[in-house]
Amino acid sequence: MSVTPVTLGEGRTPLLRAPRLSARLGVEVWLKLEGLNPTGSFKDRGMALAVTRAVEQGAPGVVCASTGNTAASAAAYAARAGIAAAIVVPAGAVAGAKLAQVRAVGARVVEVEGSFTDAYEASLALAEREGYAVVNSVNEDRIEGQRTAALEIVEELGGLPDALLLPYGGGGNTKAYARGFLEAAGRLPRLHPAEAERRADTFASAIRIVEPVHRAEVEDAVARSGGAVVSLSEERLERAWRALGAEEGVFCEPASAAGVAALERGVARAGERVVCVITGHGLKDADAVRRVAA
Ligand SMILES: *Cc1c(COP(=O)(O)O)cnc(C)c1O
């Protein structure tokens, strides 16, 4: 690339053993702590590349629709690059801390009445009007950047895990991991993307996406890997989220526990080595603690 890469120090996140979960579930559980990225979620891996490309192309700004973490990430990397950012969010559906992250770095927030899909359509219109680069996960650079997490896992474990479990919202991250594993090892571990049964109104706001934009590719990769999509009740999501905190001291946002919840559904066989991707930090949605405790 001809421009200096835009970076905030993303990637190289810890891969941590989870001894209590492992003992309780009879499998070897590892946690990839993506909440330790600069803005608190894995979105930073792809955003670094997407914003670098936007600068390279001379875009005056970036725009995205978001359930929150893409927004926080896009806003921060745009500020870092010295270009504008406009964030389109479904009104009332984004956790407060994520909006605070967006505002703190000076991005513009546009609230849209309706769903994530409505916000997404509005973001495309805004991109057209302002000449901004769209940095939603349909942006290929996002997927390319996010694939690095899979490369790190293979490097650190010295090979593929037996299975990978991760939350399934739009499916971009599942697609990115599949790409990274194929690149690093030439084949896939069993993929278990974990979605909320109640996609439209789950308390796990980061995966509150009714229509996953990458569904076809996710289903294809999952089938080739011998895995399966797992659907989770609110109760299971909540229980896994609490267990991660109480048993391992890992405080993540509710959606990020979906992989562990899938594990508790019994998708791994005894003794297998599995990686659960903990996608975002608990401080992103501290209100969730109060709501659940109440
Ligand atoms: C974006 C996000 C997800 C969902 O990832 P997809 O690529 O949309 O499937 C899960 N957890 C967190 C914390 C996120 O920010």
Confirm or reject: Cβ of 145 under 6 Å from ligand 1.
no
Confirm or reject: Cβ of 120 under 6 Å from ligand 1.
no
Domains of the chain by residue range: 15-42+141-292, 43-140
Q: Whose CA is nearest to atom 2 of ligand 1?
A: 206
- Please identify, in words, the CATH class of the domain defined by 15-42+141-292: alpha beta
Q: 293 versus 171: which is more confidently predicted?
A: 171
> Is pLDDT above 60 for 1?
no
Shared fold status for 15-42+141-292 and 43-140: yes
Confirm or reject: Cβ of 168 under 6 Å from ligand 1.
yes
Query: What pLDDT was estimated at residue 79?
Result: 98
Query: What pLDDT was estimated at residue 294?
Result: 65
Percent of the chain with pLDDT over 70: 99
Q: What's the rounded mean pLDDT across residues 191-200? A: 97
Query: What pLDDT was estimated at residue 92?
Result: 83
CA of 148 to the centre of ligand 1 (A): 16
Q: Whose CA is nearest to atom 5 of ligand 1?
A: 169
104-149 per-position pLDDT tens digit: 999 999 999 988 789 999 999 999 999 999 998 788 999 999 999 9
Confirm or reject: Cβ of 205 under 6 Å from ligand 1.
no
pTM tops 0.85, yes or no: yes
Q: Whose CA is nearest to atom 14 of ligand 1?
A: 206
Burial of 246 (0-12, 13-18, 19+ CB in 10 A): exposed
CA of 192 to the centre of ligand 1 (A): 14
Query: What pLDDT was estimated at residue 288?
Result: 87
Nearest atom in ligand 1 to the alpha carbon of residue 193 is 9
Confirm or reject: Cβ of 253 under 6 Å from ligand 1.
yes
- 43-140 CATH pick, 3.40.50.300, 1.10.1040.10, 3.40.50.410, 3.40.50.1100: 3.40.50.1100
Average per-residue pLDDT in the chain?
A: 95
